[in-house]
Structures are given as structure tokens and as C-alpha cells.
Structure 1
């Protein structure tokens, strides 16, 4: 209706993991609190969300949870944060962590982030503006190997396959760990995750396995091409160095109009 106003979706941030590949940097710090360009990775993520009008957050924590709570509570005021704890972070993976966000999300639209991704705010604006309800951000300019989460899509960018086991030769590109899940798909996704986690054999599954199962049940996902925009996932010291090169200054909260002015000035 004309008088209704748009409500930005909630943001679910998965930050339960240990970050073992970044040791010794993560011996005394959670990975998402490591600094990139003068700002913590998690701070960059939250401020990018705030720049896009997203002010409600669900943080799924595990390893060093108190450290993250303290950081968020001290750094941010006026945002709504629900903390969810994965007590089994040692023997589970992102699928289990995402399942735990179910009660906090319910049937709401939400954005899902891996807490170790740094990204240009333009990526998030494109995702929110995308008309499709269920969307995976995909970079086509990536050398695809076993580690990458690969996406196969048709000519209309409808996702056909997603996962690490996808044939790289068939893939459009890499899913970067940032997605939008619509209100209709959210309960279906959480139900699928819950069903998966009933079997201990799936406790180490990534959340993409649930996306794949939903695709088989005709729940549509679309790929959003973000090729050319800056982002990187931080798993290793080499990744951290790349992040510093891409994002060399502290993060700031920038409104859409301010971003448009910056873009026009750069032309």
C-alpha cells in the first residue's frame, strides 16, 4: 500500500568459528575483531549495514563470545542486537550456526553474512535493491578451486547449483558469503537446516547445503553479479594482507545520497 514504508531486513552475522588458519593472530583475538585498515572486520560489516539502513542484527557467537559482545556493546549505540550462542562451535559448522538464528528471525526477510568478509558497501546496496527475494552475491572474476563455494546459474541468473563440490568448469563464479533470504523462504530454510542437523553426519555441513536442498525443492535463488566491486574473505594471513590493500582506511557510515555524490565526483 502507498502509505506503507520499507523496512530494511535484519542482518544475521555468523561469528562462531575459531579462525585456526589465522593463528597466531587469532590466539588472543577473535578473527572478526582483527583490524583491516584501522577498523575491526566486524565493525566494517555493521557500519556498512547501518549505511544501508539495516539496524537490527542477529549475531551467532561461539568462540570468544564475551569478547565480541563487549566490542559490539561498546562500539555501537542505538542498534538492536540479538545474541545467539552456538555452544557446539567446536564440532559444528555454519549450517548449525545459521539454524540457531531461526527463533530470532522467524518469518522475516534477512541478510546473511559470514563474519570474516570485508566488502564495499555498494555490494550490499545492490543486494538490498535487487527485486528477487532470495539472492546470492557472486563474483565471476575468481580462479575457482576446491575451497570456493561455486554457483551455477542459467541465462536469467537463476541458481541451478551451489556448493564447494560444484564443477568449476560449469560455475558462473564464487558465492562471497553474503545473501538475502526472503520472508517466504526463511522458514523453509530453517526447517531444512533443522532436518539436516537431526543427523549427526550433517553437523559439519555448511549452510550452502541447505540452499542446495531448497533448490531441489523448487525454492528459487538468483545470482547477483558483483564482479568488479571490492571484497575478500579472510581465512589466512595472505587474505588479511589483501584486505588491507583493498580497504586501507577506517570505515565510516555513509548515506545513500553521500555515496551517490562520491560516485558522481569520481566520474
Structure 2
């Protein structure tokens, strides 16, 4: 593992959104405080990061910020969390929220995670283990509609196009809302976001718009194929039901050795007898 003897990347979790499409489930709670399989979504995200040795967190808050902060502080005593407030969460989107994390992140490697994505630890381990600098977790086995952020990549998985308007017929797959950004690329990314947000017309832009601008300037981004690993985005009540069907048990922090044993058991039926 690349980060066994070096500082793991920082986790930047975007949790400012209202989650209106999940109503009535989110009428009285934040989307990332919904419980999936007996564990709150935010807890699943943070425990997956802790299982991979990550210990520094930046959480961008907005809607029901106090409730989220109280939950994290109570559930995870002793971890390093910096809270960043998006006071404009009602009229901005993920691009603005990520831009606000810039002063806290500085020039550190970081992994950006959307707070409405539920995923298994293997996804995070695969991302951290890769030596490539800028990586977009990508699933090939997903229906490519206008809603999905699609990527086109070459045979070496280098991304040439990213966005919702990418032609599905040419796309490798769709991104899942989890990316790794290098210490070199981070400042360039934040500069692109700042420039985008200078125009009021871009207030609702997603962070992928800045990724696309960097790709067009020759900054290398690669797709990481996580097809077959368990993950799901929660945008609608139907998504919420699917998440609970996929993740049926509470999450625990799992060491690398424990994960290896679980993976071996999954691939060797005799070991499960």
C-alpha cells in the first residue's frame, strides 16, 4: 500500500446539500444522516476512510449543519475534523462547496467524497493504492443517462472527456462521486473553481466542470474501474431502498488483513463451509 509509510490523503466530504429529491425522507434530517443497513451514511463514509488509514477530514456543511457536526463529533471522538460552512448552500452546488475547502486543504493530497454515496471499503482501498495522481472512480456497469457524469478514456484509462453531456456511446462509464486529487493538481483545481464561481451564472456548477477544464488543459486524470464493487448514490427514495438492499448490515472499521480474509472467503467457497 502506497501510504503505509507516508501520510494518507485527506478526506474532503461534501455534505452541504438539501436532498430535496429524497423528500419526505429528508424533511426532518440531512441526507447523510439517513440510516442504511443499520449505520448512518456519514458514519459509513468516515469508517471506510478510517479503515484505509485516513485520519484527517474536511467536511463541508450547509443544510442542517449543526446536526451533522454533532453526530460526527459524538460518533468519532478524537479524529481530526475541520468543518467548512457553505452559507450559500441553497443557491450553490458542489463546485462552490469544494472551492470553500481550498484554504483548509492547502497543497495536500486529498480524496473528495460526495456525502450521498454509500460504498464498500474496497473502493477506497483501490483508490488509495493507485500510484496515479488524479483518479476518478468509474463504473462501467451503469445505465448512462443524462444524469450521470460520464467519462471517455483511452486504453490506458487516461481521461479525455468528462461531463454529463458526454456521448454515452463513446463513454467508458460513469463516475461515482469519489476522486483522488494530487497535491500538485489541487491548487490548479481550486483556481479553476474560483474562476468558475466569479460568474453568477456558474453558481450551480458541479465540481466536474473544473475537472473537465483541467483535462482540456492537459492535466492528467485517469479512470479507476471499480465495476463489480458495491456502491450506490442516494438521490431518491428508490435509491435509498436499493442502498438498504445492497448494504444490509451495520458497518465496522475493518483492517487491511481482515479485508484480505473477507476477500479470500468471497472467492473461495470452500473457506465459507
Alignment TM-score, normalising by the size of structure 2: 0.96
Secondary structure in 2 matching 1:187: helix
Corresponding position of 1:20: 20
Q: CA deviation at 1:185?
A: 0.1
Secondary structure in 1 matching 2:131: coil
CA distance in 1 between partners of 2:54 and 2:158 (Å): 26
Corresponding position of 1:199: 199
Q: CA deviation at 1:50?
A: 0.3
CA distance in 2 between partners of 1:167 and 1:97 (Å): 27
**Structure 1 residues 173-215: Cα deviation after superposition (integer angstroms, max 9, x where no partner):** 0100000000000000001100110111111100000000001
Corresponding position of 2:264: 264
Do structure 1's residue 173 and structure 2's residue 197 form an aligned pair?
no
Corresponding position of 1:161: 161
Corresponding position of 2:271: none
Do structure 1's residue 244 and structure 2's residue 239 form an aligned pair?
no
CA distance in 2 between partners of 1:69 and 1:248 (Å): 25
Corresponding position of 1:88: 88
CA distance in 1 between partners of 2:246 and 2:53 (Å): 24
**Structure 1 residues 152-191: Cα deviation after superposition (integer angstroms, max 9, x where no partner):** 1011100011111111111100100000000000000001
Corresponding position of 1:38: 38
Q: CA deviation at 1:5?
A: 2.8
Which structure 2 segments of 5+ residues have no match? 269-273
CA distance in 1 between partners of 2:22 and 2:129 (Å): 34
CA distance in 1 between partners of 2:51 and 2:248 (Å): 19
Aligned pairs for 1:140-151 (under 5 A) are 140-151=140-151
CA distance in 1 between partners of 2:82 and 2:240 (Å): 28
Aligned pairs for 1:44-59 (under 5 A) are 44-59=44-59
Moved over 2 A (4+): none
Alignment TM-score, normalising by the size of structure 1: 0.98
CA distance in 2 between partners of 1:264 and 1:199 (Å): 51
CA distance in 2 between partners of 1:262 and 1:20 (Å): 37
CA distance in 2 between partners of 1:249 and 1:261 (Å): 18
Corresponding position of 1:66: 66
CA distance in 2 between partners of 1:237 and 1:199 (Å): 34
Corresponding position of 2:118: 118
Q: CA deviation at 1:265?
A: 2.5
Which structure 1 segments of 5+ residues have no match? none
Secondary structure in 2 matching 1:146: coil
Secondary structure in 1 matching 2:18: coil
Do structure 1's residue 184 and structure 2's residue 179 form an aligned pair?
no
